[in-house]
Amino acid sequence: MSFYTINSLTFSYAGTDKLFQNISFDIEANQHIGLVGPNGCGKTTLVKLMLGILRPQGGEIYLEGNNIKDISLSDVGKKVGYVFQNPDKQLFCPTVLEQMRFSFTYGGCGSAEAINDNTDYYLKAFDLMQYKSLSPMKLSRGEKQRLALASVLSRDVRFLILDEPSTGLDILRKKQLENCLMELKQEGKGYMIISHEAKFLDRYVDRLLKLHAEGVEYA
């Protein structure tokens, strides 16, 4: 059984032509996939469907064999970590530290010691320690992106979906992201990255999933 099974997926936004029609593919839990395609082809929409944020007009999406429409968003979130394309949409806590600890506090997982260690590790890894008592809204675009990445990477999820994770990161911080991706690979965790940076994808993904008007195909 695949981690994700997408079966004859059809979707369109109200009043527009069909974005996808009958697309099907599988993703394994330990796969490292790059999702590519031209602007507006529906990459982020596909991810939102895979997370259960949007509902398809046709076809099914199965997560570990269960239809995504029967799983609550919080249960999807416990299995799949998602870094939003726009970090502003992801950050809602009053401080950086609370944002990092949110999943542990409200998701109810991990001991206090493990939470502290994990939080500190990722705050250091993304150079955010000095901002931990600041409001996420006071951070720059790049810092927000790092916080969004750190808060998702610190969680013990089986699979990650990263929507343009390197946007707004300088060379040093991109290197830090790359280190984290290497760690995820070593831990046997899978991920899917949406990106337009071919070199970045070449280094960190095993397969490319190409999305275009006619459908989807593995390259």
Interface positions with another protein (CB under 8 A):
51, 53, 72-78, 82, 84, 88-94, 102-103, 106-109, 137, 151, 155
Nearer to another protein (CB atom), residue 83 or residue 201: 83
Nearer to another protein (CB atom), residue 41 or residue 51: 51
The full DSSP string for 134-200 is S-GGGS-HHHHHHHHHHHHHTS--SEEEEESTTTT--HHHHHHHHHHHHHHHHTT-EEEEE-S-HHH
Pairing of strands 159-163, 190-194: parallel
Nearer to another protein (CB atom), residue 48 or residue 173: 48
Q: What is the strand order of the sheet 80-83 is part of?
A: 80-83, 159-163, 190-194, 32-36, 207-212, 215-218
Residues 105 and 93: beta-carbon distance below 8 Å: no
CB of 100 to another protein, least distance (A): 11
CB of 192 to another protein, least distance (A): 15
Nearer to another protein (CB atom), residue 159 or residue 200: 159
CB of 34 to another protein, least distance (A): 21
CB of 106 to another protein, least distance (A): 4
